[in-house]
Structure 1
């Protein structure tokens, strides 16, 4: 491994390798050896840039949390266009792709990583909490535009939508759900809340 590799390049290379391992082998397959082998770098590179493997995984998860926040802005900008159900269905399907599902599994399965993430992001289950905020912000924007009823309980709807989408899309051991299943679930959760 050549010396002098910039931190950003090393991070990106290691994070990309972690994504591939996570999608292929799940959260239990993540180890410093698996990541460095996948990246084709010496094991010491990871430890040169991160205090320990849990520190690496915490930064990896924080990168994905930042992506949720970017998706959140894009979803809010879609308010007033298309339909509420279609916008949410697309956003949830995009959010819960293979990598993010793996990150959720990682956060749930590794106590040390979850604890560090909570120190950085606050209470709640990291990643799912940010995803819930994404949906909540979108529903508020649609309510402000009159496309969601004023009395809709957005505080209950947002986590319900996240839970339903996660349950439908998380089972990678079996056949993926029919594309219409997620849309039907979103429509059912929002029944009676749209104008």
Structure 2
């Protein structure tokens, strides 16, 4: 079945999350390497990223602290420099071929606005906050399918996370690409369950146009 649409996750797929994680470490007042190490341990245990904060502040509430950051002028930022270098060349080539391109991830409504301001060559950008449902909920991928407007077997979802991206997208009938990038991508790229559910595993988005050319 010919691929008609490609939808991309955001963090560690399109965006290097280093700056945002460092901003959180600074905000809660812990050394960046310490925060990173605990995040890695949470990741390896297959738990939600938000649990990282509770090791440092047991009563931490992510939504409240995010609002406090914004109010203090230290809120979320996404700039051109946060994009991985292979993002625009990949998107430009897939756009040139006439594929429908989307971006959909577990992010805030502000992140969606910041991504739109980058003027990426995509047809649609949405986040979990805008849709009111987050990965890995099956309803998120139902929304992906509805937004792309084609049969799920003609959609490819590209992400770095085994449990949030590859497994639920595959269960929805979507074809899947696991990107070996960021802590989750490296952790799970060779995982048997990830391999069972990923149609392809790649090391860079530069590989994607050629790969889809044979799909």
Give the TM-score taking structure 2 as reference length: 0.30
**Higher normalized helix content (fraction of residues):** 1
**Higher normalized strand content (fraction of residues):** 2
Rg (Cα) greater in structure: 1
> Which is bigger in relative contact order (C-alpha 8 A, separation at least 6)?
2
